[in-house]
Amino acid sequence: MEIGTHRPRNVGWARAAALLYGDWGTSKAYVIGLAFVAAGFSSFPIILAVCVLTGLVGYNYIIVCKHFPDGGGVYSSAREQSRVLAVLGSLLLLADFIVTAAMSCWDAMSYFGVHAGYLKLATIGFILLIGFINYFGPKHSGS
């Protein structure tokens, strides 16, 4: 098996928009829905703040992609200031990915009605299943 890549990896605006929405857009949907369920129409300031914050994150994505076209994201942008800062940013992104995946799978298992005694095991199994599918399955899903 040969693992290789060439830079820059350009995906075009449509695929980049889908990747961006999959990253932060789905989280915004949870917050907006939960805020509205919890507080009704009085949640509008919270919803507006989340939308503004999401827009700011999207704008920062544009800036990073413009100034670092060879990829690397937060690592490339922070590396010019400090390698320690770059590694810290990368580790925080990795922690965010792990926590988000675990919480999403936990919520999914709860939603599907898995008994509380098996919730942890079902969540771990589901994460492993998704990893298996991604490793052996849709290798070219983004191309």
pLDDT in tens, 75-104: 888 888 888 988 898 898 889 888 888 888
pLDDT recorded at residue 14? 73
- Please give the helix or strand (H or E) that residue 51 lies within, else none: helix 44-67
Domain boundaries, the chain: 7-71, 90-135
Q: Which of 133, 134, 129, 124 is nearest to 102 (CA)?
A: 124
pLDDT at 70 exceeding the cut of 80: no
In order of 38, 57, 59, 62, 128, the CA distances from 54 in angstroms are: 21, 5, 9, 13, 30
pLDDT band at 57 (very low <50, low <70, confident <90, very high): confident
pLDDT band at 143 (very low <50, low <70, confident <90, very high): low
Maximum Cα–Cα distance across the chain? 55
Whether the full predicted model's pTM is greater than 0.85, yes or no, is no
